[in-house]
């Protein structure tokens, strides 16, 4: 069987490489020529453990070829980005332009009996729109099988989770759900959960909104605790001894390209109904602003007492601990804001070697040279650091608790 994978990023490339190693003939497509060229050399353009081995083996065996154009296949998998339009103070709205243009690009190659699978995280109704685009291109969509199969892998563990995670398959018809489920069964060890396309779309958005709402609760609590002079980490620990309470960790906001993005796909379509989900997004965004104000106040106090501006160590830039991913990262946003407002900042990110926008410091050097140490991300390196009592410490991620 031949599979055409559209979009060779964090999701598409691991999927293409896995399928090729399982014996499928894979035609990978990406609009970026350097991505195509890198893969055809058996190399990778993204950081993900074990992916290089899979890609190298797949390309060497001739089972994986990358191209800037699609080709005829039995199965088409769409794994292109689904960001949102940032539109000032309005509610961000989903941008499904990449999905639509990927669908248009495969239309000339789709024929009777093919499977067309949308893996991109999508607002409710997108799979139906994929069908609409194919219909407009003259394809009899009664004779093909279209389904949404959302991806839930965790970066850093993608090669394992692609096989082991349970998968949801939501077809536009029952036959599509069945056919696409049979395809996933050939390489997934997890359970295949069958539903319809709309439920599958909302399920993925629900999972990430659930996380966002729960993190918002922890973040709101941290602000309330600060007002009372209560240690939120101790409070959380105590409350979680209740057998039915499980409060998550507060932090400096919510980042990454999933949890900070996907809830808006529900809110933008349900302005009246999605009150809690919207509030959670606002609470998590507000937490980032609150952290900036806290740091600025501490800097001002230092300046008044010492008649000079403090040096501030910003510890961690990634969107969560122990990764190098800076996408939608509130820690990076905070650090940039402080630098742009003229603060003397020593930025630290042990998981990133080089950063183009400003200098990165070794964490020990930053701690030695700074007056105020701000922990933004709970990286493992920071947990055991010894800090001189004379330094002022602001710990927003509980790494020192």
Ligand X SMILES: NC(=O)c1ccc[n+]([C@@H]2O[C@H](COP(=O)([O-])OP(=O)(O)OC[C@H]3O[C@@H](n4cnc5c(N)ncnc54)[C@H](O)[C@@H]3O)[C@@H](O)[C@H]2O)c1
6 lies in the binding site for ligand X (CB under 6 A): yes
Q: Is 314 a catalytic residue?
A: no
Nearer to ligand X, 206 or 401 (CB): 206
List the beta bridge partners of residue 75.
3, 115
The DSSP H or E segment spanning 203 is helix 197-228
Residues 6+ apart with CB under 8 A from 347: 314, 317, 335, 339, 355, 358, 359, 360, 361, 366
The residue count for binding ligand X (CB under 6 A) is 27
CB 85 to ligand X: min, Å: 15
Q: From the CB of 151, what's the least distance to ligand X, in Å?
A: 4
Shorter beta-carbon distance to ligand X: residue 30 or 196: 30
Min separation Cβ 378 and ligand X, Å:
20
Question: From the list 24, 54, 84, 98, which residue makes contact with ligand X (rule: CB under 6 A)?
Answer: 98
Out of 258, 278, 287, 320, which one is annotated catalytic?
258
Alpha helices (H) along 229-274: 232-239, 262-267
In this chain, which of 44, 102, 259, 347 binds ligand X, going by CB under 6 A? 102
Report the residue from 3, 4, 5, 8 that binds ligand X according to the rule CB under 6 A: 8
Beta bridge partners of 171: 147, 196
Task: Kindly tell me which of 131 and 371 has the beta carbon lying closer to ligand X.
Answer: 131
CA distance linking residue 254 with residue 272, whole number of Å: 23
Report yes or no: 204 and 258 within 8 Å, Cβ to Cβ: no
10 counts as binding ligand X under rule CB under 6 A: yes
Catalytic site residue from 63, 179, 204, 287? 204
Among 55, 153, 332, 345, binds ligand X (CB under 6 A): 153
Q: Is position 82 an interface residue for ligand X (rule: CB under 6 A)?
A: yes
Shortest CB 98 distance to ligand X, Å: 4
Question: Which residue in the set 29, 115, 180, 312 belongs to the binding site for ligand X (CB under 6 A)?
Answer: 29
CA-to-CA distance for 52 and 60, rounded, in angstroms?
12
Query: With left for phi above 0 and alpha for psi between -120 and 50, is residue 342 left, alpha or beta?
Result: left
By the rule CB under 6 A, 9 interacts with ligand X: yes
Between 205 and 374, name the residue whose CB sits nearer to ligand X: 205
Select from 16-24, 145-153, 295-303, 381-389 the region that touches ligand X (CB under 6 A): 145-153
Distance CA 131, CA 116 (A): 9
Report DSSP letters for 146-167, one per residue: EEE----PPTTSHHHHHHHS-E
Alpha carbon 23 to its chain centroid, in Å, reads 29
Chain position whose Cβ is nearest to ligand X: 9
Find the helix or strand (DSSP H, E) in which 276 lies.
helix 275-306
Q: Which is nearer to ligand X, 12 or 310 (CB)?
A: 12
CB 74 within 8 A of CB 68: no
For residue 222, what are the CA distances in angstroms to 236, 284, 337? 9, 11, 22
Candidates 99-107, 178-186, 211-219, 381-389: pick the segment binding ligand X (CB under 6 A): 99-107
Is residue 149 a contact point for ligand X (CB under 6 A)? no
Closest distance of CB 30 from ligand X, Å: 4
Distance CA(133)–CA(146), nearest Å, equals 12
Residues 155-174 that bind ligand X (CB under 6 A): 155
In the region spanning residues 249 to 268, those forming contacts with ligand X, defined by CB under 6 A, are: 258
Length of the chain: 401
Smallest distance, ligand X to C-beta of residue 103, A: 9
Query: For the chain, what is the radius of gyration of the CA atoms?
Result: 24
Nearest to 61 by CA among 34, 35, 23, 30: 23
Question: What's the closest the beta carbon of residue 352 comes to ligand X, in angstroms?
Answer: 17
DSSP 3-state assignment of 4? strand
329 binds ligand X (CB under 6 A): no
**Taking the complex as a whole, how short is the minimal distance between the CB of residue 228 and ligand X, in angstroms?**
37
- Restricting to residues 50-79, which ones interact with ligand X according to CB under 6 A? 79
Strand duo 372-375 + 311-315: pairing: parallel
Q: Does 121 bind ligand X (CB under 6 A)?
A: yes
Chain residues in the site for ligand X (CB under 6 A)? 6-12, 29-32, 35, 79-82, 98, 101-102, 105, 120-121, 151-153, 155, 258
Residues carrying an active site annotation: 204, 258
């Amino acid at each position: 069987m031949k599979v055409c994978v559209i979009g060779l990023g964090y999701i598409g490339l691991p999927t293409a490489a896995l399928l090729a190693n399982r014996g499928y003939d894979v035609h990978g497509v990406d609009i970026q020529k350097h991505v195509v060229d890198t893969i055809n050399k058996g190399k990778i353009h993204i950081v993900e453990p074990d992916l290089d081995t899979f890609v190298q083996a797949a390309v060497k065996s001739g089972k994986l070829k990358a191209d800037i154009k699609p080709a005829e296949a039995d199965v088409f998998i769409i794994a292109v980005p689904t960001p949102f339009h940032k539109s000032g103070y309005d509610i961000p709205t989903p941008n499904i332009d990449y999905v639509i243009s990927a669908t248009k690009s495969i239309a000339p190659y789709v024929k009777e009996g093919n499977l067309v699978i949308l893996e991109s995280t999508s607002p409710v109704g997108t799979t139906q729109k994929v069908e609409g685009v194919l219909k407009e291109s003259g394809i009899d969509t009664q004779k093909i099988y279209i389904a949404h199969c959302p991806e839930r892998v965790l970066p850093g563990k993608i090669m394992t989770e692609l096989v082991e995670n349970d998968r949801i398959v939501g077809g536009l018809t029952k036959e599509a759900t069945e056919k696409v489920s049979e395809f996933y069964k050939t390489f997934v060890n997890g359970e295949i959960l069958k539903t319809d396309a709309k439920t599958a779309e909302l399920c993925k958005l629900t999972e990430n909104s659930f996380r966002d709402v729960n993190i918002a609760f922890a973040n709101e609590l941290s602000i309330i605790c600060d007002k009372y002079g209560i240690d939120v980490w101790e409070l959380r620990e105590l409350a979680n001894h209740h057998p039915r309470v499980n409060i998550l960790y507060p932090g400096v906001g919510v980042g990454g390209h999933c949890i900070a993005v996907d809830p808006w796909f529900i809110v933008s379509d349900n302005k009246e109904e999605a009150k809690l989900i919207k509030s959670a997004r606002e609470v998590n965004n507000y937490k980032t602003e609150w952290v900036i104000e806290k740091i600025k106040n501490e800097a001002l106090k230092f300046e008044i007492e010492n008649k000079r501006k403090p040096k501030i160590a910003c510890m961690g830039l990634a969107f969560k601990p122990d990764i190098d991913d800076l996408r939608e990262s509130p820690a990076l946003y905070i650090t940039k804001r402080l630098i742009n407002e003229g603060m003397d900042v020593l930025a630290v990110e042990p998981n990133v070697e080089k950063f183009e926008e400003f200098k990165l410091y070794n964490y020990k050097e930053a701690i030695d040279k700074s007056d105020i140490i701000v922990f933004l991300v709970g990286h493992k390196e920071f947990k055991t650091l010894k800090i001189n009592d004379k330094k002022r410490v602001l710990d927003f991620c509980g790494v020192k608790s």
